[in-house]
């Protein structure tokens, strides 16, 4: 009887931890309190900035552009969430946007709205609208709580008790899972999000950039440029944690009619 009761209690906990992703409505499992995620994010974010060269926004046009694009997308996302009864999910977000001097083709967004773009990405984006595509995608990961979802799966697999979530920030395994989930120190395209997460972030991302007044159609040539960078060296989609560039472009083409409904040029 005790075993049955424990299983029942665990089941109730899992049901209580189920949430839905904005726009797509997909049900997901988030075992970690958002406050814990944001606390871990702030710690790792500050550590990252202290050990990397942050480009000054007051004297660099690229850094200024990153901030401008980020603020526009964050404003549009916040308005959408508030208008659709989901404002509480990002009420504690304190948005920050930084450009870091690095040759890596990379960008990420942590819970709480901490966004970093690497200078190595800019030759690939080539313009502000394509940058909005990437930043919309990364912000989508945070809004969709993909990191929480991936960490929840990882913690269960590792057998780490989520009940002690307050102490997770000091657990090396949990910290490693966090960094993997948010791509800290990894290249764009090889982060630990699943293919489903990546495609969902593409979905939300093109809508977020459209809401902010950026033409979502620019996302297609951007991902085509990313594909050209690989020179055919990427593994087949079924061997990768990420969708193939061809699969990604195909979905974006299918999403364009929906995304264009949100697009109002500024």
Cα-Cα-Cα-Cα torsion 217, 22, 168, 10, nearest 10 degrees, comes to -140
- Both tokens of 204, joined, read 């939300």
Find the largest Cα–Cα distance for the chain: 67
DSSP letter at 98 equals E
Nearest of 194, 172, 181 to residue 148 by alpha carbon = 181
Catalytic residue list contains 138: yes
Please spell the DSSP secondary structure of 5-31, one letter per residue: HHHHHHHHHHHHTEEE-TTT--EEE--
* Cα atoms in the 13 Å half-sphere on the side-chain side of 17: 19
Q: One of 138, 149, 198, 218 is an active-site residue; which one?
A: 138
Rg of the chain (C-alpha set)? 18
- Residues 25, 78: Cα–Cα separation, whole Å: 17
Contacts of 266 (CB under 8 A, 6+ apart): 213
Q: Give residue 96's Cα distance to chain centre.
A: 14
- Both tokens of 180, joined, read 């993997």
DSSP letter at 235 equals P
Q: Which residues are catalytic?
A: 138
């Amino acid at each position: 009887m005790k075993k049955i009761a424990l299983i029942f209690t665990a089941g109730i906990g899992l049901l209580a931890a189920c949430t839905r992703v904005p726009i797509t409505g997909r049900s997901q499992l988030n075992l970690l309190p958002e406050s814990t995620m944001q606390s871990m994010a702030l710690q790792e974010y500050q550590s990252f900035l202290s050990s990397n060269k942050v480009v000054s926004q007051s004297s660099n046009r690229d850094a200024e552009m990153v901030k401008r694009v980020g603020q526009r997308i964050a404003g549009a996302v916040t308005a959408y969430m508030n208008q659709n009864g989901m404002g509480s999910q990002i009420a504690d977000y304190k948005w920050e946007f930084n450009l870091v001097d690095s040759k890596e083709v990379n960008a990420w967004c942590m819970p709480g709205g901490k966004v970093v773009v690497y200078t190595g990405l800019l030759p690939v984006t080539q313009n502000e609208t394509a940058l909005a595509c990437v930043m919309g995608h990364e912000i989508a990961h945070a809004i969709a709580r993909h990191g929480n979802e991936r960490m929840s799966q990882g913690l269960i697999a590792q057998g780490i008790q989520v009940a002690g979530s307050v102490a997770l920030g000091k657990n090396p395994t949990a910290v490693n899972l966090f960094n993997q989930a948010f791509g800290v120190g990894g290249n764009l395209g090889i982060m630990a999000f699943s293919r489903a997460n990546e495609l969902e972030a593409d979905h939300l991302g093109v809508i977020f950039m459209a809401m902010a007044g950026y033409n979502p159609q620019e996302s297609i040539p951007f991902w085509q440029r990313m594909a050209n960078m690989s020179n055919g060296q990427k593994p087949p989609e079924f061997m990768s944690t990420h969708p193939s560039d061809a699969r990604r472009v195909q979905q974006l083409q299918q999403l364009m009619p929906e995304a264009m409904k949100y697009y109002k040029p500024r």
